[in-house]
A and B are shown apart, each in its own frame.
Chain A
Amino acid sequence: MDKEDVQYIKKLVKERLSAMPPDVSFSVGNYGDFSPQDLIDEIDKNSEVGKAAIEMQINFIKKMPKLVSYPK
């Protein structure tokens, strides 16, 4: 994956996180607790939590077509 792709994915994930309500948080094992804005900051810092947040979002986006094809 080249630098542009990485930047695009980061931007996409940050946009998705910024759309979340502020009164929700994520506990990520012993990394601690993070609001959506905290996760955006972690992505900017390129920390392990930031990488985990990107992975979570990318997995979700990849699985989304299969998920929405389930019958209602």
Chain B
Amino acid sequence: MIFIRTNHDIATSYLYSYTEPLIKEAEQRGFNVIKMEREEITEDILRKRIKNQKPTFIFFNGHGNSTSLYGNKGNEFINLNSADVFKTTVTYARSCNCLNKLGKEAVKKGCSAFIGYKKPFWIARSHKRECQPLKDNVAEPILESSNTIVKQLLKGHSVDEAIKKSHETAADYILKLIYSKEPLASASLQALVSNDGALDYEGEAYARIC
């Protein structure tokens, strides 16, 4: 499997940090995890890695829009013309709006299933924890709910099951946040509800990565 992780601003530093426990879990389960970071995040390098490693799962973390994914310098590295790169894989792009066109195009070009978001991906965060994203309890419900998708796929569950479990995780957090007396809870709650509503997939419901 390939984990693509950008890390060039606050938002991507949070995404980057929250992939760490997933990489550990994947390796503990015996998966060969290839990390693509920094200047490695180009279409050419991704194609070479796919050709050599034949991954069943690609997990992208970074900025995007309805037609493109962006690398570590804010450069577009995948767009509708290169969406075939995801063929035969299950791909999860933790990225704004990417499902609308890119996800559809990827599936049209042979991607088994493309998981992503139909709207912006919001991250609420506490100023006090910017340097320690994994200790930011404002961001945690948002990123842990999305991490659930990968955890479920690693356990052998299907795309549809992984998405349902992510909604359940989000619902549990939403309940806690609604009744929380923590003043920052409303920010987490609104971002989480928005992301959870925007999460969806294209392609095969029963696709699995193992």
Seen from chain A, the residues whose Cβ lies within 8 Å of a Cβ on chain B are: 19-21, 23-33, 36, 52, 55-57, 59-60, 63, 67-68, 70, 72
CA of A36 to CA of B173 in the docked complex: distance in angstroms? 22
Q: Does B124 contact A (CB under 8 A)?
A: yes
Q: Are B187 and A24 in contact (CB under 8 A)?
A: yes
Count of chain B residues with Cβ under 8 Å from any Cβ of A? 38
The 10 closest A-B pairs by CB, nearest first: A27-B11, A29-B96, A30-B63, A27-B123, A56-B194, A24-B187, A23-B127, A60-B190, A21-B183, A60-B193
Interfacial chain A residues near B119, Cβ < 8 Å: 52, 55
Residue B186 contacts which of A20, A25, A68 (CB distance < 8 angstroms)?
A20
Closest to A31 in B: B120
Number of cross-chain contacts by CB at 8 Å: 87
Residue B187 contacts which of A26, A30, A59 (CB distance < 8 angstroms)?
A26
Interfacial chain A residues near B186, Cβ < 8 Å: 19-20
Q: Are B10 and A27 in contact (CB under 8 A)?
A: yes
